[in-house]
Copies of this chain bind each other. A is one copy, B any other.
Amino acid sequence: MIDVRAITFDTYGTLVDWRSSVLAELTAFGVTHGLRVDWVAFLDDWKAGYRPGMDDVNAGRRPWTTVDALYRERLDALLAARGLASLAPEAIDHLARVWHRLRPWPDTVAGLQRLKRRYVITPLSNASFAGMVHLAKFAGLPWDCIITAENARAYKPEPVVYRTAIELLGLRAEHVLMAAAHNYDLAAAQAAGMRTAFIPRPHEYGPGQTTDLAPAGKWDVVVDSVEELAAALGA
């Protein structure tokens, strides 16, 4: 029924557990520097700066800016608000790059390795291109190539991001499957003519997550892991 040649993956949340990875580094950062900070609230604040920054780019209110720069701006502001801006610059630089050091979910690497034998596999993330390269090296994600929002200089769910990926892959849209843990991403991919696979990650946002627990559209595939996606696609 579906004839897939390539699979594009959302990455933060879908393939890597950003929340527990970043919380672990923030906590260690606090111990190293003798800080008393509510790191759960700090991370919530940090992550909350992500979407408005991207929306500003998509709306033309600011020029193209990578998420690395957006996260860095927000981090500097959060540290300043807590009187922590005078920490060693190298320590802050290192912390800012924590988004390149995120652990994969347990099924991610094995599932991607299976899929790679039969399909072209690539991220299609709002990460920076370089950030996605570094994350792949850190987490062992065996991509065939890297495609991110930076290749389109716009952020998902702008249609041009999906169109750019389809064009770079040299395929018709219906031969490309978007896999994501987020319904909004799949809705945009489907609108661009792509096939869709929903892989819910009910713990992405920690305990008490209320969003993206179930499919909110007619997705082609709904599975609980990347390994199940491989099985569903015969890989």
- Using a CB–CB distance below 8 Å, which chain A residues touch chain B? 66, 68, 120, 128-134, 136-137, 143-146, 150-151, 168-171
Is the beta-carbon distance between B170 and A128 smaller than 8 angstroms? yes
Q: A137-B144, A146-B146 are in contact. List 12 more A-B contacts (CB 8 A).
A: A66-B170, A68-B170, A120-B133, A120-B137, A129-B145, A129-B169, A130-B170, A132-B145, A133-B169, A143-B145, A145-B146, A151-B151
**Number of copies of this chain in the oligomer?**
2
A143-B145, A144-B137, A145-B143 known; A150+B129 contact, CB < 8 A = no
Interface pairs (5), CB distance under 8 Å:
A129-B145, A130-B171, A137-B144, A145-B146, A151-B168
A144-B136, A146-B145, A151-B151 known; A129+B168 contact, CB < 8 A = yes
- Most chain B beta-carbon contacts within 10 A, residue among A128, A131, A145: A145
Contacts of A144 on B, CB cut-off 8 Å?
133, 136-137, 146
Residue in chain B with minimal CB distance to A169: B130
- Most chain B beta-carbon contacts within 10 A, residue among A133, A134, A143: A133
Cα of A20 to Cα of B100 in the assembled complex, Å: 41
Cα of A132 to Cα of B147 in the assembled complex, Å: 13
List the 5 shortest-distance A-B pairs measured between CB atoms, nearest first: A130-B170, A145-B146, A129-B168, A133-B145, A133-B144
Contacts of A68 on B, CB cut-off 8 Å?
170
